[in-house]
Structure 1
Amino acid sequence: MIQLMCVGWVIGIASIGKTFPILQSLILPCIALFILSLLLKLTVLKPVHTLWFKFLQLCLGFSLGISLGYSYAQQQLNDRLNFREKQAEQVEVIAYVKTINELSESSIQQKIQVLNRHTEVVQWQTFLKNEKQADHQPVLELGQYYHLQGKTLPAHSYATQGVFDQEQWYLQQNIMSGFKVTSVQKLSEQDISALGYGRYVRQQHSILNQFQLWMEQQRLVLRNFIDQQPVKHKGLLLALLTGDKSLLTPETEQLFQRFGMNHLLAISGPHVLIFALLVCWSLHQLICRYCPQVYLKWPKQYLLIVPFCICVLLYCAFVGFEIPALRTLLTCLLISGLVLLKQKIQPLSVLLLSASILLMFDPFSILSAAFWLSYGACFVLLRIYQTVQQKGHAEEIKTKTQAIKIQLKILIESQWKIFLALFPLMLIFFKQVAWITPLSNLFAIPWIGIIIVPLDVIAALCYFIFEPLGSLIFQINDLCLSILLIFMHGLDQIFSPALQPVTMSFWMLLSLCLGLIILFLPRGVVPKTWSVLCFVPLIMIDSNKNEFELTVLDVGQGQAIFVRDQDQTMMIDTGGNYDESKFSVGKQIILPFLSVNGVSELNQLILTHLDQDHKGAYESIKADLPINTIYSNEQLAVANSSQFDYCHQGQKWQWNDRVKMTILSPKAEQLVNAKDEKNEMSCVVYLQVTNAEPYQNFLLMGDAGWPTEYQILQDYPNLKVDVLVLGHHGSRHSSAYHFLKQLKPKLAVASAGFNNRYKHPSVVVESRLKELKIPLLSTIKQGSIHFSKHKSIMAIEFERDSQQWLKP
């Protein structure tokens, strides 16, 4: 019963941000029925143990868990959304610094507590230039108060399916806004008290807050110490010790990413346990040497359990209570409680209780990949442990050689099982996998877990006791890291690993998850052969067989449109960042979107013109995305697997007698002017879908302006348009009044970026549309705009409606 309620609680919390009114309305009935069932079981039905009554109780407990979890998560979400900044503006704030900053090559990111913005203290993330790049740039110091001036930078995600959700990440981290600092003035505690925040100052003097501040100061001191050491891999030493990646080079981080080992750079359960075990082993040796009689009074497991839990708590505080560390802390406390109470330990129940308690304190951790990967790996290791225990009772280990063979077998088995079990989660969160991960982990995990992390912990402890010894051990550990990197570089030369995008539709991914869950469940719960039925859809479902859909993607200030019907796929433009090396629209938006939609190649790509915001992303992904034919108004270099052709007026394509596309502009003889008049020579695409209502005819204008609009009206006087994708992102030099009036579309769409410097879509265009009573949609407010045909109905969906925090 408790297990099922915990499962329901986790599922309910996982529904955070979704709209399920029925779950909220079920709370009171579920509570009432659950209490009634307990009373009946204790009184009237006490001697009766019918199967149907047990089943009813289990259903009620599960339903109660889901409804309570959902309601609690929604309440917490609404409270947090109330303090989120929505507009970029110049502000002055009073702030306190209580956490260590994060360094990068060009900037310093520092979380601050803002005292004067709301009735409650909120957390913002500040951005300053790195002091190494700017000598006079002030640094925000731990435990200090400041008067800051700057500009708020509200989180605004690229609301496109499969893309990293910045707004979700900000909520999960409890960051209410970004903040670009322009002026810093240090304040004293007396100044803060004089401003009316004396109560907050007194709170920071409490024992708990002073302890947390001291811990952060020790992390900073240790980071500075490692940074000054004569070692090559100071970034890895620090990351493996505290999870702080401030000293890590991009090359090293990319190497770990290519091998699928980036999770090792974050603090996990083993790091915490290694520290606690080292301290407790040392304590045990002291007791055995100087006062062994203590064990006669208190057994070892009872005497050492308290210092063990204290060590786990201290290390969790030292690394900032990261999710994997918190999971370990809660699990250790639960197991310790059961040991002290002499209760039977049920590992699965402990894991579920740990997750439920963690979500009670921080329901937003459910949004983190670390939560799912951490508990997923624990579940797999638990199943491996149970299997080993069962075999251990049946087999007798006679020699050390047999024991070593069994340990190696367990290591190999655990790696491929963990990789297989976490495969769906990797696709959900990262949309790509590294197939070499199980092989590289065979060496890396034992080497890191048995040698590097223990040495790191010992070196840190020695630093606080005797600094020269700590320095020596860090240098020895640096040599151990060199061995690890030599191994990884060797594999890199042999296999040239890379993160591979994997394309799976939602239903294929769901089938895979169900099949793997059945495989990893204990024997006897569900027949293992049922997993085969779940894997069948992976073979049978053809993800390309879809009814017509057209999606105007949210790619910021740019344009990218995806079109699909049956087995035909096309994109019209790909968007592009001004510098794809800093943020790649192609790799961070286009490829993830295609991946979650089960698209691994395109039949056609039309680049309306070669401006960076329309074709820039293509340059960064052309080696990763096979495309049969590419069209544009200018010649461009394409991959060897692609063919190039010019687009010009009169070209037509037809898909299965259901979708017809025509190029309306430019004329073939005008292509010579494309280099000098990129915008005006944009390829204008007219798309028609048969038997669709209310949206059947789509006109996609690229960056074309008034002259092209006038020419189209002359060449196609009877043109019917239901959906008009505005030219030049809604610029005032496009979408002329006469053009809009004659076409009179049912809907206008502007593809533009949040807070873009061009102020697209233009106020002038908006007023024209309003006067003509043409509704305007924009990727700024709606996110990606998705048209899909079901039978004869062309439905429309907005990505920003998919999550509560994405809604404007």
Structure 2
Amino acid sequence: MVYWYRYQENQTNRIQGQQTVTQSVLIYPDNIKYSDDSFYGIGTITDTGKQIMVYGSDAKRVKRYSKPIIMNVSGVVQPFDEARNFNQFDAKEYYESMSVYSRLTVKQLNSVEVQHRFSIIDSLHYLRMLMLKYTNQLPHPLNLYASSLFLGVMDNSFNDELSGVKTLGLIHLFSISGLHVFYIVNLLKMILGLFRVTREKTRWATLIFLPTYFVIAGSSIGLMRSILTVEIGIIALMLKKRLTSLDVFSITLMANLLIDPEMLLQFGSQLSYALAFGLIYTNKMRPLKQTVMMNLVSLPFIIYKLFQWHALTMLANYLVIPIFSALIMPMILIAVITYPIAGWFSSVVAFILNSFDAAVNWLGALPGQINFGKPNLYVATLLLIMTLVVIDKVSFKRVSLLLCMYLITFMYIHYPLQGEVSFFDVGQGDSILIREPFNHSITMIDTGGKLQFGRRQNSKVTYQAEKTSINYLKSIGINHLDNLVLSHQDADHTGDVPAILADLKVDRIIVGDGLQNNPSIMRKISPYLNKTKLVLIKANQKLPDFPFNIYHPFESGLGKNEDSVVLGTIQGNRSWLFMGDLPSSGENDIMHKYPMLKADYLKLGHHGSDTSSSDAFLKFIHPKVSIISAGRNNRYHHPSVATLERLKDNNLAYVNTQKLGMISYKYGLLGNHWIFKLQGE
């Protein structure tokens, strides 16, 4: 009932389209994140009280404040973009689960002033900001540990430096939850005990302090669950009511749903409650057995959301958790508190943490990363239920059944009955996946990408392929490519090559002859040539284990549009033709060289621009469906009106990533059909 009410309320908060506005937004500096000269964070519109994500470019002006600020801004408000590729992180879904329905891009920061009204929440956020500034002064990496463990802040530097923590599934140690609340509550009891405060007053102090700590520590879902659990337990003691662990869990879940009905839509919340439930039934097990069972509880969530799991995760948790609980946490707490009077101790702790990081990162780099892929939701649910059955009573038969379920799921993902031809939505660019049934052959044509205009020299390069194509490949169990074809030099086709080569095993990089003389391309691929092979091709050349006909280029070139690689293939008893960015002059050459060439499905050249897809070529190929890969609102206005008119005049159907998001054609034993990310089948 509560969820239905909140759902109906949320429908009224959604906006349609863009709106140009001038409005005031209250935002807490401790919730603001910075990237080069830009900032972003969730704020509250002062007139309506609605939350909104704010993006701005004047970071220096905002960064000087510690107290809550009110920004008067002029800008554009619009809804979040939904995920445009299958299995891509959905920002719209994520933020709506937090009751944030729109984003504000600041065009003009009119004024910034400190919020002068007094409120406890504002004061707590100010205190948190001061604590963040304090932790930033600590020796590295103690500063990262302190801000994540006690204030709930994990920025990009944390993810970069402690990559092994994420790989080995140890991130829960840094996500403020039960372990941290346990330490805080016991520290509070110890302090009050020194002043001979009675047990009754200590309980009242704990009840009052924990909501305060909830704000200071970042207000995460896992923290809310832990605090509610402790508070419900204390209230039961004060009322002299006996509650079992399952009673406390159930009341906590109900209370959390009343406070935030949508919280169970978040991955972190689902995992937190699943692990808490698992702990109830494993708390009497031996440590090793409990570690195994708790990892089994988390596994369906991990592979469904993250697609990967490291074989050393269980061992790492078994070894690291006791060390972290008994040594690392207390050591960090003491170092943080004593830093002003004993800086030497903080330096010693920082040195120990450096060694700890190195050990964890080394362990995470060992072979054992299993790219499981994403199981069907119903399958993941069955795996979780079967895991709980095993925990209820461990037996050889039950464990064997669970292992068989995982094995069958793994085989189904990695040896699919269907093949596919998929066109990723990479914005203004091309990236295409062609994989045959049972993954007999896996080829990617182009990677997408963009020119890194205006990027600071020392700033980190980001690749959209990490969120689009690579993420999708991992979700379908692919961690290697047989062939990576680069059609030509342009950044919107090859800009994300480094990300693909760094993240996936690639057997061959296939390029048009002459592209090896292009310094821009070679800078991208040279660092990886020790683990892949560069293959040069021309028209009519035959390559072993390459399920394509090569129709272009006829001559060597440096990779300009007119040098584009053009490939044809038969997939699902349908003929396909991929044109790269080949202009009309190249199309004329192909018509002359291959007078019998036809294709059922044609990927239009150059994103549907007026310089490609001539009327003569469209009549010559006469495809059943043409595919256009172009970005929304791109500055080139692709596809051109003239091209669309030519398609219409020739009665040719077309699909466009601009409108439909990622486009996939699935074929095989289960039939042939198109799937569009934004419109289903």
Asked whether the equivalents of residues 56 and 107 of structure 2 are also in contact (C-alpha less than 8 Å), the reply is no
Matched, 1:383 2:281: yes
Q: Which residue of 2 aligns with 1:645?
A: 535
1-side partners of 2:4 and 2:402: how far apart? 33
Deviation of 1:319 (Å): 2.2
Q: Which residue of 1 aligns with 2:57?
A: 128
Matched, 1:351 2:249: yes
SS in structure 1 opposite 2:496? helix
After superposition, residues 644-793 of structure 1 pair within 5 angstroms as 644-651=534-541, 661-667=548-554, 670=555, 672=556, 674-675=557-558, 678-689=560-571, 696-789=574-667, 793=671
Asked whether the equivalents of residues 698 and 724 of structure 1 are also in contact (C-alpha less than 8 Å), the reply is yes
Asked whether the equivalents of residues 665 and 683 of structure 1 are also in contact (C-alpha less than 8 Å), the reply is yes
Deviation of 1:700 (Å): 1.6
Q: Which residue of 1 aligns with 2:150?
A: 241
Deviation of 1:236 (Å): 2.3
TM-score by length of 2: 0.83
User: What are the ranges of 5 or more consecutive residues in structure 2 without an aligned counterpart?
Assistant: 453-459, 517-525
| 2:122 maps to which of 213, 237, 259 | 213
Q: Could you tell me which amino acid in structure 2 is paired with residue 679 of structure 1?
A: N
Structure 1 residues 336 and 319: alpha-carbon distance in aligned structure 2, compared to 1, 3 A threshold: same
Matched, 1:94 2:17: no
| 1:430 maps to which of 290, 306, 326 | 306
Q: Could you tell me which amino acid in structure 1 is paired with residue 615 of structure 2?
A: Y
SS in structure 2 opposite 1:622? helix
TM-score by length of 1: 0.71
After superposition, residues 484-499 of structure 1 pair within 5 angstroms as 484-490=353-359, 492=361, 496-497=365-366
Structure 1 stretch 243-252 or stretch 144-153: which is displaced more?
243-252
Matched, 1:275 2:173: no
Structure 1 residues 258 and 603: alpha-carbon distance in aligned structure 2, compared to 1, 3 A threshold: closer
Structure 1 stretch 494-503 or stretch 339-348: which is displaced more?
494-503
**Could you report, residue by residue, the CA deviation over 1:98-117 in whole angstroms, capped at 9, with x for unpaired residues?**
4623344524323222356x
Structure 1 residues 627 and 144: alpha-carbon distance in aligned structure 2, compared to 1, 3 A threshold: closer
**Could you report, residue by residue, the CA deviation over 1:192-218 in whole angstroms, capped at 9, with x for unpaired residues?**
xxxxxxxxx9xx96x8xx111111011
Q: Which residue of 2 aligns with 1:52?
A: none
User: What are the ranges of 5 or more consecutive residues in structure 1 without an aligned counterpart?
Assistant: 1-67, 190-200, 289-293, 295-299, 389-408, 463-468, 804-808
Deviation of 1:688 (Å): 2.9
Asked whether the equivalents of residues 489 and 560 of structure 2 are also in contact (C-alpha less than 8 Å), the reply is yes
Deviation of 1:267 (Å): 1.8
Structure 1 residues 536 and 220: alpha-carbon distance in aligned structure 2, compared to 1, 3 A threshold: closer
Deviation of 1:75 (Å): 3.6
Structure 1 residues 592 and 146: alpha-carbon distance in aligned structure 2, compared to 1, 3 A threshold: closer
Matched, 1:445 2:321: yes
SS in structure 1 opposite 2:562? coil
2-side partners of 1:800 and 1:485: how far apart? 46
1-side partners of 2:333 and 2:207: how far apart? 17
Q: Which residue of 2 aligns with 1:172?
A: 97
Matched, 1:621 2:500: yes
Deviation of 1:773 (Å): 4.6
Q: Could you tell me which amino acid in structure 2 is paired with residue 430 of structure 1?
A: L
SS in structure 1 opposite 2:414? coil
1-side partners of 2:512 and 2:586: how far apart? 14
Structure 1 residues 279 and 474: alpha-carbon distance in aligned structure 2, compared to 1, 3 A threshold: farther
| 1:500 maps to which of 352, 361, 369 | 369
Q: Which residue of 2 aligns with 1:572?
A: 444
Q: Which residue of 2 aligns with 1:806?
A: none
| 1:261 maps to which of 162, 167, 170 | 170
Q: Which residue of 2 aligns with 1:78?
A: 11
Q: Which residue of 1 aligns with 2:434?
A: 563
Deviation of 1:572 (Å): 3.5
Asked whether the equivalents of residues 431 and 444 of structure 2 are also in contact (C-alpha less than 8 Å), the reply is yes
Matched, 1:419 2:305: no
Asked whether the equivalents of residues 510 and 537 of structure 2 are also in contact (C-alpha less than 8 Å), the reply is yes
1-side partners of 2:343 and 2:506: how far apart? 50
Structure 1 residues 475 and 603: alpha-carbon distance in aligned structure 2, compared to 1, 3 A threshold: same
Q: Could you tell me which amino acid in structure 2 is paired with residue 603 of structure 1?
A: D
SS in structure 2 opposite 1:266? coil
Structure 1 residues 342 and 769: alpha-carbon distance in aligned structure 2, compared to 1, 3 A threshold: farther
SS in structure 1 opposite 2:613? coil
Matched, 1:368 2:266: yes
2-side partners of 1:575 and 1:775: how far apart? 26
Asked whether the equivalents of residues 488 and 563 of structure 2 are also in contact (C-alpha less than 8 Å), the reply is yes
Deviation of 1:270 (Å): 2.0
Structure 1 residues 367 and 725: alpha-carbon distance in aligned structure 2, compared to 1, 3 A threshold: farther
Structure 1 residues 111 and 744: alpha-carbon distance in aligned structure 2, compared to 1, 3 A threshold: same
| 1:223 maps to which of 132, 156, 159 | 132
Asked whether the equivalents of residues 687 and 699 of structure 1 are also in contact (C-alpha less than 8 Å), the reply is yes
Structure 1 residues 71 and 547: alpha-carbon distance in aligned structure 2, compared to 1, 3 A threshold: same
Asked whether the equivalents of residues 455 and 477 of structure 1 are also in contact (C-alpha less than 8 Å), the reply is no
2-side partners of 1:263 and 1:799: how far apart? 32
1-side partners of 2:398 and 2:316: how far apart? 33
Deviation of 1:245 (Å): 3.6
Q: Could you tell me which amino acid in structure 2 is paired with residue 125 of structure 1?
A: V
Asked whether the equivalents of residues 413 and 477 of structure 2 are also in contact (C-alpha less than 8 Å), the reply is no
**Could you report, residue by residue, the CA deviation over 1:282-335 in whole angstroms, capped at 9, with x for unpaired residues?**
3345447xxxxx7xxxxx5x6644333222222112224211111112223333
Deviation of 1:744 (Å): 4.0
Asked whether the equivalents of residues 259 and 497 of structure 1 are also in contact (C-alpha less than 8 Å), the reply is no
2-side partners of 1:475 and 1:178: how far apart? 45
Q: Could you tell me which amino acid in structure 2 is paired with residue 108 of structure 1?
A: F
Deviation of 1:741 (Å): 4.4
Q: Which residue of 1 aligns with 2:483?
A: 604
Asked whether the equivalents of residues 92 and 101 of structure 2 are also in contact (C-alpha less than 8 Å), the reply is no
Matched, 1:108 2:39: yes
Q: Which residue of 1 aligns with 2:219?
A: 321
Between the two proteins, the alignment pairs up a number of residues equal to: 658
Asked whether the equivalents of residues 26 and 71 of structure 2 are also in contact (C-alpha less than 8 Å), the reply is yes
Structure 1 stretch 234-243 or stretch 771-780: which is displaced more?
771-780
Matched, 1:145 2:24: no
SS in structure 2 opposite 1:708? helix
Asked whether the equivalents of residues 518 and 528 of structure 1 are also in contact (C-alpha less than 8 Å), the reply is no
Deviation of 1:562 (Å): 1.4
Asked whether the equivalents of residues 512 and 536 of structure 2 are also in contact (C-alpha less than 8 Å), the reply is yes
Q: Could you tell me which amino acid in structure 1 is paired with residue 539 of structure 2?
A: Q
Deviation of 1:427 (Å): 2.5
Q: Could you tell me which amino acid in structure 2 is paired with residue 569 of structure 1?
A: S
2-side partners of 1:445 and 1:509: how far apart? 27
Structure 1 stretch 339-348 or stretch 237-246: which is displaced more?
339-348
Q: Could you tell me which amino acid in structure 2 is paired with residue 224 of structure 1?
A: K
Asked whether the equivalents of residues 3 and 261 of structure 2 are also in contact (C-alpha less than 8 Å), the reply is no
**Could you report, residue by residue, the CA deviation over 1:136-158 in whole angstroms, capped at 9, with x for unpaired residues?**
67756644333213455753355
Structure 1 residues 142 and 180: alpha-carbon distance in aligned structure 2, compared to 1, 3 A threshold: farther
Deviation of 1:249 (Å): 5.8
Identity of aligned residues (%): 22
SS in structure 1 opposite 2:639? coil
Larger radius of gyration: 1
Structure 1 residues 628 and 480: alpha-carbon distance in aligned structure 2, compared to 1, 3 A threshold: closer
Q: Could you tell me which amino acid in structure 1 is paired with residue 44 of structure 2?
A: Q
Structure 1 residues 308 and 721: alpha-carbon distance in aligned structure 2, compared to 1, 3 A threshold: same
Q: Which residue of 2 aligns with 1:395?
A: none
2-side partners of 1:248 and 1:336: how far apart? 38
